[in-house]
């Protein structure tokens, strides 16, 4: 544990971002693995049968867990949180840009989930980019 604290202290802005990313991904994993249908419906997703329920657990839950675990592993293996932050930036920025483009294409801007997702993801991406810039200017 002391070694992990040492790694995190090498770059505070990147560490804060990576901790946020890991908690986000692990939280999403728990939410979608434990209650897939309820949570998927809040995302405007509804499975047509039990295999769909499994897919929600796998892709929203399992992949979220894998992403969080990978970012944590990368931080420990490379002994810096910077590369995990960059990976998180690729993921979060891609999701935000793709959602923004296709909510216009699909005309989904009036959906309740979109009204929550766009500002929340926008703030999350802005926070990650802020941490990235600070990590480069301060360290």
What are the tens digits of pLDDT across the range 8-21? Answer: 899 999 999 999 99
Could you list the mean pLDDT of each consecutive 10-residue stretch along the chain, which spans 139 residues? 87 96 97 94 90 95 97 96 97 96 89 89 97 94
Supply the range of the domain harboring residue 23: 2-138
Q: What is the pLDDT of residue 49?
A: 94
Please tell me the predicted confidence (pLDDT) of residue 139. 82
> Encoding tokens for residue 45?
């997703």
What are the respective helix, strand and coil percentages of the chain, to the nearest 5?
85, 0, 15
Number of domains in the chain: 1
pTM of the model: 0.89
37 vs 46: CA distance, rounded Å: 7
């Amino acid at each position: 544990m002391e070694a992990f604290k040492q790694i995190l202290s090498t770059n505070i802005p990147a560490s804060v971002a990576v901790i946020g990313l890991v908690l986000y991904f692990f939280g999403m994993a728990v939410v979608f693995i434990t209650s897939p249908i309820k949570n998927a419906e809040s995302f405007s997703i509804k499975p047509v049968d039990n295999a769909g329920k499994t897919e929600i657990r796998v892709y929203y839950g399992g992949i979220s867990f894998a992403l969080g675990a990978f970012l944590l592993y990368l931080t420990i293996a490379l002994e810096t949180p910077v590369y995990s932050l960059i990976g998180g930036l690729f993921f979060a920025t891609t999701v935000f840009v793709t959602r923004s483009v296709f909510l216009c294409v699909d005309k989904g801007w009036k959906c309740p989930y979109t009204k929550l997702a766009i500002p929340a993801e926008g703030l999350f991406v802005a926070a990650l980019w802020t941490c990235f810039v600070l990590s480069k200017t301060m360290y």
